[in-house]
Amino acid sequence: MIRSQTNRTTAVIFLAAVLVVMTATPATAQTPIPMRYSTRAQGMGGAMLLSAGPIEAGYFNPGALTQSKGLHVYLGAQLGTNNDAINFVNFLSDNSQMLDPVHFAGQPLATQTSFLNDLNGYTDRWYQLKVDPLVGVQIGSLCLSGYSVSRLGLRAMPPVLTPTPLPPQVRVAAAADMVVNAGLGLQLGRMFHGGVGVRFMQRQRSAIQILEPEDVDDPIQFLNGFATKDNWLDDPPTALQVDVGGMVTLGKAFAAGGVVRGLVSTADEELARDWEPEIAAGVRLKPMELLLGIPLVIIRDITLEADLRDVLNVRGEQYLEKLHLGAEVKLPLIALRAGYFNGNLSLGAGIHLLIVDLSAAVSHVEQWTPAGVEQQRLFSLAAAIGF
């Protein structure tokens, strides 16, 4: 029975996540605008300004669209969770019997106290589940895409024994940003590339909903209550922004450029706090092209990139906190990635089989929580069909 209750609780949490994705569409709160960092970008420390591939270049830097001309179609999704969530799930699995109030009440006081002390160590943080789908098409230097950055946050609250007993609770909150983006790249001679991007954004956030043990007996009622809480799906704030980007290339070996994000913006005062304009710049180097001119048989390509966001320091951060460093080594079928951002290393890998892409990354990126934006260790898996 205990195992059954645990399974039902897990099912409710999973259904809540699905509800967020299907009805709230998309998500995040990565400043200054809701950028979708793919597992490739995460593995490379977020350094994508000049290295983004087809479709992604449309919203990272439309000036890079001229580097991947042709017909490209992409349909994919990625799932991610933070390190705290993985540790918490392991703790609950190891102590599943103690979650049953009857079993808990029958334990010695020392055992109860030890369990509650351990549980309290997991109650001061939010556990994240992210779902980021992307669909896009690129024809020549014209790209159309739609994506979401979705966050479901869970916070566990231990049972209260005195003076007024309360059962254990799980507090649930969600944020969902949907973005529709159009980008057009322009070839300005052999070395110069420009581009314009237009982005429509919609943000939705839920109030905090409390999931109690009795809710697992009627998950549909809980999900309906979660979806309609404070009408969070109604009248979400929206904004329209225009980006301008460009780059200079010396063959395939070297590129330098940047982008002005939010050059034109209709964001109201509430959204402008997160979606304020910024200038980002970067350089990209392909050592094999620079030194050899042709790729080797085993190592097909090497890409090194360094990006700096918020060049004008509008937000007053330390410049080292805004530096993204990334590297990618392409081998037959697979690609290995590494990156650095804000004092943290990231690692990633990808496999390409015909039109199927599979990738994974372990990184530190900014994540939305009901308490604000936090740096968290993130594990991501992605699957896509594209050509």
What is the rounded distance in angstroms from the CA atom of residue 195 to the CA atom of residue 139?
14
CB-based contacts of 293, cutoff 8 Å, min separation 6: none
Q: Give the E-state strand segments of the chain in sequence order.
A: 71-82, 127-139, 142-157, 169-188, 192-205, 209-211, 238-250, 254-265, 278-285, 301-308, 323-330, 334-341, 344-353, 356-369, 372-386
Q: Is 331 within 8 Å of 355 (Cβ atoms)? A: no
Cis peptide before 32 (omega within 30 of 0): yes
The arithmetic mean of pLDDT across residues 282-305, rounded, is 82
Q: What percent of the chain has pLDDT over 70?
A: 73
Q: Looking at per-residue confidence, does 202 or 225 come out higher?
A: 202
What is the rounded distance in angstroms from the CA atom of residue 274 to the CA atom of residue 29?
7
| Choices 1.20.1260.10, 3.90.79.10, 3.40.50.300, 2.40.160.40: CATH for 2-386 | 2.40.160.40
**Tokens 């369990």, located at residue:** 115
Whether the predicted pLDDT of 366 surpasses 90: no
The arithmetic mean of pLDDT across residues 21-36, rounded, is 42
pLDDT of residue 149: 83
Neighbours of 283 (CB within 10 A): 19
The arithmetic mean of pLDDT across residues 293-321, rounded, is 82
Cis peptide before 219 (omega within 30 of 0): no
pLDDT of residue 91: 82
pLDDT of residue 128: 77
pLDDT of residue 1: 45
pLDDT of residue 294: 59
Q: Looking at per-residue confidence, does 73 or 117 come out higher?
A: 73
pLDDT of residue 88: 79
pLDDT of residue 312: 85
Q: Looking at per-residue confidence, does 351 or 160 come out higher?
A: 351
Encode 75-95: b = buried (16+ Cβ within 10 Å), e = exposed.
ebbbebbbeebeebeeebeee
Residue 139: C-alpha distances to residues 73, 142, 191, 209 (Å):
9, 5, 21, 44
What is the rounded distance in angstroms from the CA atom of residue 11 to the CA atom of residue 210?
16
Q: How far apart are the first and last CA of the chain?
A: 48
Mean of all residue pLDDT scores within the chain: 79
The string of DSSP codes covering 174-197 is EEEEEEEEEEEEEEETTTEEEEEE
